[in-house]
């Protein structure tokens, strides 16, 4: 059976659901799995889904800070900020800003050189 290349979307949604019901362990696990799946994307596709990186790092960072693991928390929050800044500075390439990757979703334009910004 072929794996779905966008399963990170499911992990992000699960992370939010678990976070909303205060199941922090499951939320962290889902966001970590989202980052693992995102890392499997071809480099050219990563900028299209930058918001999932930002959400995952941001939520993990907040979770670590709430558990008083400040070093890990600040590290994750800084990574979310770096990704945001990298995408914000390079307008031009289509990125999908919705949860379903449907073409009728709102799109933002960013330009990405394909370097090592992520």
| Mean pLDDT, the chain, integer | 78
pLDDT band at 93 (very low <50, low <70, confident <90, very high): low
Return the pLDDT at 2.
Answer: 62
User: Coil, helix or strand for 109?
Assistant: strand
The answer, yes or no, to whether residue 115 has pLDDT greater than 50, is: no
Neighbours of 51 (CB within 10 A): 18
pLDDT tens digit sequence for 58-92: 999 999 998 899 999 999 999 999 888 887 766 55
- Please give the model's pTM, rounded to 2 decimal places: 0.72
Map tokens 């909303």 to a residue. Answer: 20
C-alpha torsion sign, points 113, 107, 33, 80: positive
């Amino acid at each position: 059976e072929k794996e779905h290349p966008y399963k990170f979307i499911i992990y992000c949604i699960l992370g939010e659901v678990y976070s909303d019901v205060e199941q922090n362990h499951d939320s962290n696990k889902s966001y970590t799995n989202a980052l693992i799946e995102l890392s499997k994307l071809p480099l050219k596709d990563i900028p299209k889904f930058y918001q999932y990186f930002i959400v995952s790092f941001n939520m993990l960072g907040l979770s670590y800070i709430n558990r008083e693991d400040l070093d890990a928390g600040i590290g994750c929050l800084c990574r979310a900020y770096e990704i945001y800044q990298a995408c914000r500075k390079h307008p031009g390439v289509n990125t999908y800003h919705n949860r379903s990757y449907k073409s009728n979703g709102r799109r933002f334009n960013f330009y990405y050189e394909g370097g090592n910004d992520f």
